[in-house]
Amino acid sequence: MGPNLIDPAILHRQATQHAFDLDTIPWAQGIDPTRHFAPEAMAQLYHSPSYQLLDADERREFSRVVGLALAEMFIYLEEILLVPAVGTFMAKRGDRLSPDLRACLVDFIEEERKHAEMFWRLLELAAPEAYPTRKPLIYGARPIKNLGLQVMVRLPEVCLCWLWLALIFEERTIDLYRKYQAAPEADPLFASVHRYHMQDETRHVSIDQHLLAELWDPAPMWLRRLNVKLLSGILGMFTSPTTSPMTAVDAVIAKSPRLQARRADFERDIAGLRENMAFQQAHYSREVLPRTFALMDRYPEMAAIRTALPLYTPVAP
Residue 1: pLDDT band by 50, 70, 90 thresholds? very low
State how many domains the chain has. Answer: 1
Rg over CA atoms, the chain: 20
Statement: residue 195 has pLDDT above 70: yes
Amino acid at the residue 61: E
Does residue 273 carry a pLDDT above 80? Answer: yes
Percent of the chain with pLDDT over 90: 91
Quick check: is 314 in a domain? no
Within a domain: residue 244? yes
CATH number at residue 206: 1.10.620.20
- CA dist 156 and 1 (Å) reads 22
Q: Is residue 316 part of a domain?
A: no
Q: Is residue 292 part of a domain?
A: yes
Give the model's confidence band at 190: pLDDT under 50 very low, under 70 low, under 90 confident, else very high: very high
What are the residues whose beta carbons fall under 8 Å from the beta carbon of 17, sequence distance 6 or more? none
What was the pLDDT predicted at 142? 63
**109 or 147: which leads in pLDDT:** 109
Tell whether 208 is covered by a domain: yes
pTM reported for the whole predicted model: 0.93
Domain of residue 293: give its range. 8-17+35-307
Tens digit of pLDDT for each residue in 74-84?
999 999 899 99
pLDDT recorded at residue 6: 94
| Rounded Cα–Cα distance for residues 69 and 72 (Å) | 5
Mean pLDDT over the full length of the chain: 94
Q: Which residue would you say has higher pLDDT here, 148 or 277? A: 277
Q: What is the pLDDT of residues 150-165, one digit of tens each?
A: 888 889 999 999 999 9
pLDDT (average), residues 56-64: 97
Position 200 in a domain: yes
User: Quick check: is 2 in a domain?
Assistant: no
Which residue did the predictor score with more confidence, 215 or 140?
Answer: 215
Examine the pLDDT at 3 and tell me if it is beyond 80: no
Task: For residue 92, tell me if it sits in a domain.
Answer: yes
